[in-house]
Chains A and B, each alone.
Chain A
């Protein structure tokens, strides 16, 4: 038996924490249906007005699309460069390994604003035009450590025996990766991608400094919240939560089916 302690007490405490995590989200969802231009009590009545407003708001729809575009790019960057970094850290000893590890982890503890200032200065010096891609490169650098730590932790768990066996049997580096490493780290990589996507989708500090003419969703919301607040903001956020739940469930279902079919063959 793994469980210990009063089950009812533990359950109650855990559920109170979940309630704490979801209370503001519920508030936001409820007020997205409130028939009032003011987010707050009293609740005047049910309306879909703010959702209609949202779907006619070209700028808002564009910024949602921009956010998805940036987040997908960031996931690709952080996986393409993060997985090799994790493999290098796991399998090899090399001079400067400690320094490399510290530099890789640095963006986790640095305020996004500092990362943003450094990159902005760099872009301005080399006359790099600010756009969605500059945001992508900045966030990719900042979020790579998520992929590296998640994949590195899994590689450490897996151990080296299978990799060494494959190397001894004459597999080249790509074959080792394709047939040994990747199957082992797949679920950790998927989890990391999920986290990277969600953090990128909501990132504001790096984006705030590196954005060009096109805005991501958080930037559009930020300007709305600073000027006049309409419950349209609540409607967008509610939709994003619902969409993310659907996406996560689909992703889970797909990976589960893939795993069971792999198990059968």
Chain B
């Protein structure tokens, strides 16, 4: 309560009216977003839960209160397997994006001096977003494919005789494409964390005789953990739910969980099953948010 302190001297009546005023100010800001999220999230999610408890008979939805669909998610192939596989692709993408993003974030945070150059580089990181995601994924097909640029180069310099088919249509190409597309998110979140590090901290370490590598390992890397975690959670989530890369650059068996949901809706007309998968993923998402909040609290440094 920010404003109750200054009227406390006026006695209890004043404090009470200040609290009322404070509540009115709170509602002024809080009500619109709460109303929005109730209508466009809580109600739809509630209906999703309701749908997941029913079943489909002869392409008609029959409401019910059965947890059969949830049992199927965890026992019937391919659901659980595909969820695990999507998670594996998500984890690999998150790790790779962090590794790729770190040097660029580091450079912008520590080596670029002028604010103008920093902002320019920040924009250079954002601009690749604007190029269509689909076209970028397709560009990787052009680079990695058997008639692609990579193979032409390899053959040109005589490293291989024929085209190498290992680059495309497998999990590697899916992870590479997803890493490419989501790396900007990792750069921005790691950069935001590195930018907070006060210059005095680095100067103090240097004055005490630390060399560059020691400063990085003992000070900068531990402080950057929350930024890395925040970026990793975003890249993991985006990769986990992706359905484009598996179709464009993935192999015949590289179906991910979003593809399964789309097939359930469009081909099998099994809404309740799709809804059950949705509910499971929403629960996993809430868990992930709680875990990330806890991790950030644990690892964040106050200056």
Chain A contacts to B: CB under 8 angstroms: 1-7, 10-11, 13-14, 16-18, 20-25, 27-28, 31, 39-41, 80-82, 84-85, 87-88, 91-94, 100, 102-114, 117-119, 121-122, 125, 137-138, 140-141, 144, 153, 160, 163-164, 167-168, 173, 194-195, 198-199, 201-202, 204-205, 208-209, 217-218, 221-222, 225-226, 229, 233-234, 236-238, 240-241, 244-245, 248, 252
Instruction: Tell me the residues in window 211-248 of chain B with beta carbons closer than 8 Å to chain A beta carbons.
Output: 212-213, 215-216, 233-234, 237, 240-244, 247-248
A10-B107 in contact (CB<8A): yes
Chain A binding surface SS class: helix
> Does any Cβ of A come within 8 Å of B269's Cβ?
no
Output the least CB separation between B293 and chain A (Å).
8
A241 contacts across to B, CB distance below 8 A:
127, 130-131
A104 contacts across to B, CB distance below 8 A:
33, 37
Encoded as 1 (CB less than 8 Å from any A CB) or 0, chain B from 130 to 147 comes to 111111101110110101
A114-B282 in contact (CB<8A): yes
A112 contacts across to B, CB distance below 8 A:
241, 258
Output the least CB separation between B250 and chain A (Å).
14
Q: Which of A4, A20, A141 contacts B41 (CB 8 A)?
A: A141
B124-A18 in contact (CB<8A): yes
A248-B123 in contact (CB<8A): yes
B285-A121 in contact (CB<8A): no
A4-B241 in contact (CB<8A): no
> Does any Cβ of A come within 8 Å of B152's Cβ?
yes
B290 contacts across to A, CB distance below 8 A:
102
A137 to B148, CA, bound (A): 40
Q: Which of A3, A27, A114, A244 contacts B278 (CB 8 A)?
A: A114
By beta carbon, the residue of chain B nearest A39 is B142
Q: Could you list 13 examples of A-B contacts with CB < 8 Å?
A: A3-B111, A17-B100, A20-B180, A39-B138, A81-B33, A104-B33, A110-B241, A111-B257, A112-B258, A141-B37, A218-B132, A221-B134, A237-B136
Beyond A114-B282, A118-B45, A209-B265, 9 additional contacts (C-beta under 8 Å) are A11-B111, A24-B143, A84-B28, A85-B29, A141-B36, A164-B2, A168-B3, A222-B134, A240-B131
> Does any Cβ of A come within 8 Å of B164's Cβ?
no
B126-A195 in contact (CB<8A): yes
A175 to B274, CA, bound (A): 48
Size category of the B interface is: 35 or more
- Given A160-B2, A195-B126, A217-B132, A102:B138 Cβ within 8 A: no
> Does any Cβ of A come within 8 Å of B43's Cβ?
yes
Chain B contacts to A: CB under 8 angstroms: 1-3, 6, 22, 25-26, 28-30, 32-34, 36-37, 40-45, 47-48, 51, 100-101, 103-104, 106-108, 110-111, 113, 119, 123-136, 138-140, 142-143, 145, 147-149, 152, 180, 183-184, 187, 192, 199, 202-203, 206, 212-213, 215-216, 233-234, 237, 240-244, 247-248, 257-258, 261-262, 265, 271, 274-275, 278, 281-282, 285-286, 288-290, 293
By beta carbon, the residue of chain A nearest B277 is A114
B133-A218 in contact (CB<8A): yes
A168 to B265, CA, bound (A): 56
B212-A103 in contact (CB<8A): no
A218 contacts across to B, CB distance below 8 A:
132-134
A111-B2 in contact (CB<8A): no
8 residue pairs, one from A and one from B, having the closest CB atoms: A111-B241, A14-B107, A24-B139, A85-B33, A244-B130, A13-B103, A237-B135, A122-B44
Chain B binding surface SS class: helix
A108 to B241, CA, bound (A): 11
A237-B184 in contact (CB<8A): no
Output the least CB separation between A234 and chain B (Å).
7
B107-A11 in contact (CB<8A): yes
Output the least CB separation between A250 and chain B (Å).
12
- Given A11-B107, A105-B289, A168-B3, A20:B100 Cβ within 8 A: yes
- Given A10-B106, A11-B107, A88-B30, A233:B138 Cβ within 8 A: yes
A25 contacts across to B, CB distance below 8 A:
128, 131, 136, 139
A22 contacts across to B, CB distance below 8 A:
128
Output the least CB separation between A259 and chain B (Å).
12
A16 to B103, CA, bound (A): 9
A7 to B47, CA, bound (A): 56
Output the least CB separation between B275 and chain A (Å).
7
By beta carbon, the residue of chain A nearest B101 is A17
By beta carbon, the residue of chain A nearest B128 is A21
Output the least CB separation between A204 and chain B (Å).
6
A24 to B245, CA, bound (A): 15
A234 to B149, CA, bound (A): 16
A106-B285 in contact (CB<8A): yes
A238 to B258, CA, bound (A): 28
A40 contacts across to B, CB distance below 8 A:
142, 145, 147-149
A202-B132 in contact (CB<8A): yes
Which of B130, B142, B215, B293 has the most A CB atoms < 10 Å from its CB?
B130
Q: Which of B110, B234, B265 contacts A4 (CB 8 A)?
A: B110
